[in-house]
Every structure is written in C-alpha cells, then in structure tokens.
Amino acid sequence: MTAIFAAAALTSSVVTATAENQASSKQSVILISIDGLRPDAILAHGPESVPAFYRLRREGAFTHNARTAITQTHTLPNHTGMVTSRLVDGADGHGWTWNKDPKLGDTLHRNKGEYLHSMFSVAHDHGMRTGLFASKTKFSLFDLSWGPRYGEPDPVGEDNGRDKIDVYHMKTRSENMVDDLETVLKKEQAFDLLMVHIRNPDTAGHGFQWKTSLPSIYMAAVKKADELIEDIFDHLEKPQWNGRTFVVVTADHGGPIGLKEHGDNQNPENFTVPFYVWGPGIPAGADLYELNAESRLDPGNTNPLPSPDALPPIRNAGVGNLCLDLLGLPAIPGSTVNSGQDLNVR
Ligand SMILES: [Zn+2]
C-alpha cells in the first residue's frame, strides 16, 4: 500500500474514529520494534544523545534484559513471535524459521499446518483498527497471512471481515516510512493497535558491525532510531492520542560487537533485547522484573528453556498479549508467551 493509499484509507476511518472518541476514551497501543537494537547501545549513547529512549526509561517501566526466542535470533521468526506470542519450535511454536521474503503462496498457517492467530486478528475481530508500518519487504508475510484471502472469518460479535491488518505500509527506508506514518498520525486517530518496525540498527550492524563505541555507523543508526521514536512521540501530544496511548518498544535481536551477523542464538549479545512500556498508569522508571517478581525471573546471561520449575524471563514474544491486555482484550488463542496476560506493567 502506498502512502497516498494509506492516507486515503484513513479518511474512511475518520468518521468512526471521531464517533468512538466521543463515545469512550478507549486506549491505543503503538508497538515499536527496533531491528537489531542492543540495549547497551542506549546506555553508551546517554540521555543527551538518545532522549526518546531515555524518556521511555524515565517515564515508563522497562528492562534491558528481556529475551528473544530461544532457538532463533533472526528478524522474521522473532517478529512472528511478537505478533503471535509464541516461541518458534515445538507443538505450540509458530514454526516460522525463514528469514527472507515469503515464497509464492506461503503463509504462516500453511507453514504451520493450522490457522495461527495474532494480536492483529484478535484486535480486529473485536472491532479495532489495526496497522503495520514496516521497513523490510519480508513483513509482507503478515499482510499475506492475515489479509483478506487467508485471514479467517471473524468469529467474534460483529463481522469485521477477514483482513486483520487494516493498513499495511512498507518502505525500505525507515525515515520515509515514518514520514508516511506521521502524515497518518497527524490527521486523526488512525489506529487502536499499530506496529512500527524500524530497521536502521540492523542494517548498520550488517554493513559495518555492531559497534557500541562512539562514533560508529551502528551507534549513528541507533540515534536515528531514537529520532524516529521522538517523531512518533511528538504526535502523541495531540488531543486524539494524549493520555490514552501506550508505547511499547522492544527488539527482535541484538548483535555481536565486531561481527556482521547475529544468527548465533547461543550468544547473549544476540538474545538480549530491551523492553519498554510507556503510557497512562505505567509507573515511572520502574524495573519490569521488580514489578513481576512472582512471575518472571531475570535470566542473568542465559536464555532459559521453558520449565515448570522455573520462572520465565520477559520475552519479546510477550508483547502481542501485552498489547491486547493494554487494549482490554483477551490473549491470542494458542499463544504460550504471556498467555495469561500476567506481565504486570502497572
Ligand atoms: Zn539482521
């Protein structure tokens, strides 16, 4: 979908969005995934250099020691985990390990051999407006899987149709993608659930290595990602978003200092990701592991297997169910990560 089409699609939502605003003050959630973001890069920059990340730390609840999937530290398997709240492998896993553009006819359902629900499908089936703004072509997997052809008929209440992602917009330059998003955010409340994918740190890491010393191409890309988050924050001051919008930020994987690939799932540099939650009622500066001392355990430098005898870490895959929880919606059917929606952020 082009930017113009996205903006045009918006106009059709203006009437309903305005009516809904008058009827209720329901919540909105923006999930931002920063591709290839090492949390220590934020600390290495410091508050002057990356003010948006520091705003998330100062005003929100967060941890710099969340985890990716266990068996995969690649982009598409981890983003699939985020939107389905599943791990990759096993009977309950989403099963998607391919990290390139989906092949002709591929969907998550076909690959798994069963229909996979997502945060988009649950939100949309409950009448919410959903969007996905991405900066890599491979995200078409989600638009395909939950589009008008392969999305399942709406099983909940009023029929909201099979296309679970109302606006899918992709541009391979994150700056242009966020420009397009800003055009949409400027005009009216556009989405109840919006996911934004920013690729810059990953692209810099592959080209010039993950280097957290300053200056480096990687650190410049982290700063650019901060500026794009800042651009989104600027819109949240507007009345249609203010006081009712949550921002959740995490990453699909990190990357190793001095290398150009992040596929080694045993390396803590790859499986350690940040996790920030910001918005109304979120305690300022809170540590997510302290808020969840009874249900989650800081994993140190491990990425532990699921065990009935041990508390799990906070995982990026938990964001799908968290976003739905913040919207007042139930968990994703079939999900296993934060499936009790018990990740406490307030
Ligand atoms: Zn990558």
Q: How far apart are CA 281 and CA 61, in angstroms?
A: 10
> Residue 186 Cα, ligand 1 centroid: separation in angstroms?
31
Strands (E) across the chain are located at 28-34, 61-67, 130-134, 167-170, 193-198, 245-250, 272-278
**Enclosing domain of residue 167:** 3-326
Instruction: Please tell me the distance from the alpha carbon of residue 250 to that of residue 69, in angstroms, as a whole number.
Output: 13
Q: How much distance in Å is there from the Cα of 271 to the middle of ligand 1?
A: 12
Q: Ligand 1 centre from 205 Cα, in Å?
A: 8
Give me the chain's average pLDDT, please.
93
335 part of a folded domain: no
CATH (domain of 176): 3.40.720.10
* Of residues 279 and 19, more confidently modeled: 279
Range of lowest pLDDT (19-33, 77-91, 126-140, 226-240): 19-33
Residue 25 pLDDT level (bands cut at 50, 70, 90)? low
340 in any annotated domain: no
Residue 281 falls inside a structural domain: yes
Task: For residue range 88-103, list pLDDT tens digits in order.
Answer: 999 999 999 999 999 9
Q: How far away, in angstroms, is 136 Cα from ligand 1 center?
A: 11
The Å distance, Cα 98 to ligand 1 centre, comes to 13
307 alpha carbon to ligand 1 midpoint, in Å?
Answer: 29
CA of 63 to the centre of ligand 1 (A): 22
- In the reported structure, the alpha carbon of residue 144 is separated from the centroid of ligand 1 by a whole-number distance in angstroms of 22
> Would you report the helix, strand and coil content of the chain in percent, each value rounded to 5?
35, 15, 50
Assess whether pLDDT exceeds 90 at residue 14: no
Separation of CA 281 and ligand 1 centre (Å): 34
The alpha carbon of 84 and the centre of ligand 1 are apart by a number of angstroms equal to 20
* 261 in any annotated domain: yes
- Residue 126: inside a domain: yes
Check whether 188 has a pLDDT greater than 90.
Answer: no
pLDDT digits (tens, 9 = 90+) for 206-230: 999 999 999 999 999 999 999 999 9
Give residue 298 CA to ligand 1 midpoint distance, Å.
25
Which residues are CB-neighbours of 340 under 8 A, at least 6 positions away? 331
Q: How far apart are CA 168 and CA 5, in angstroms?
A: 10
Cα of 28 to ligand 1 centre, how many Å? Answer: 29
Residue 16 scores a pLDDT above 70: no
pLDDT of 56-67, one tens digit each? 999 999 999 999
DSSP track, 244-284: TEEEEEE-S----BT-S----TT-HHHHEEEEEEESTTPPT
Cα of 75 from ligand 1 centre, angstroms: 6
pLDDT digits (tens, 9 = 90+) for 31-75: 999 999 999 999 999 999 999 999 999 999 999 999 999 999 999
Domain count, the chain: 1
Ligand 1 center from residue 202 Cα (angstroms): 5
Q: Does 331 map to a domain?
A: no
Distance 316 CA to ligand 1 centre (A): 16
* Ligand 1 centroid from CA 268, angstroms: 15
Distance 201 CA to ligand 1 centre (A): 9
Q: How close is the Cα of 111 to the center of ligand 1, in Å?
A: 22
